[in-house]
Amino acid sequence: MAKLIGSVGTSHIPAIGGAIAKNLQQDPYWKPFFDGFPPIRDWLDTARPDVVVMFYNDHGLNFFLDKMPTFAVGAAQQYNSADEGWGIPTLPPVQGQQDLSWHVINTLIEREFDIVTCQEMLVDHAVTLPLKLLWPDSCPVQIVPVCINTVQFPLPSARRVYAMGRAVGEAIRSWDSDKKVLVIGSGGLSHQLDGERAGHINKAFDLQFMNSLLTNPEWVTQYSIHELVEKTGTQGVELLMWVAMRGALSAGGTSSLRKVHSNYHIPISNTATGLLALEAV
């Protein structure tokens, strides 16, 4: 059976892609953010995952406000990125892992999750930036993208997303393969880009949430979506990707988790940036 080696949660702000393209990693504004990644890259160099299951939210490349699925899973042979208007260079295509994609899809349907299956799918900065941050030179992994709606209400509850993540984790652990799988939660943390609360950041909540993922992973499920919007901002609900990521690690009775490394920095483009790597041991 496949081995679920651990997880990484990271932010995916478009400006990060611009900073990478301009080689600003050592710029004083960017250095505290980029300095969080070398310890995790070192871990990944040793762990050597073959496949990444990426929980992320689409920003209009595949789904818009008139057609917004709650959950969608990619089952493509490869995933191309496209110009989103942020000035981020388009990256080479990322190879899909179709066998695992269909195993995840079938498992989710069996667990009574209604999902959209995408045999063609573009990926935006929410997918490409985490891959570039973790593997700056070239991407050595195949991917299974799992899209969660955090754009158009109604949104799925944290409890529902955690349960969905557990089902994905069950699929990974029961996949008939000798490959090693990493799960990534791409998004957040607290931020709001518009309205009267534009610029809202809740450091205390962010840090408590990050700590809970190691010590009490269902802590966040006590809050409704509207409560999470109040606490983290309208875009801060992207933390649902981290919730799904942690749910995947809870599947199959993981004995324990080790924190590889974490980082928290504010602000980058009015956003609280979080980074957390957990190893399943």
Q: Which residues form the catalytic set? A: 125, 191
| HEC sequence for 141-162 | CEEEEEEECCCCCCCCCHHHHH
Q: Is the peptide bond before 267 cis (omega within 30 degrees of 0)?
A: yes
Give the whole-angstrom CA distance, residue 88 versus residue 61. Answer: 14
The answer for residues whose C-beta is within 8 angstroms of residue 95's C-beta and 6 or more apart is 77, 78, 79, 142, 143
Backbone φ and ψ of 185, nearest 5°: -105, 115
In the Cβ-directed half-sphere of 17, how many Cα atoms lie within 13 Å? Answer: 21
Peptide bond into 32 cis (omega under 30): no
The β-bridge partners of 51 are 142, 181
Distance from C-alpha of 90 to C-alpha of 68, rounded to nearest angstrom: 24
User: Where do the H-state alpha helices sit in 92-202?
Assistant: 98-110, 125-134, 158-174
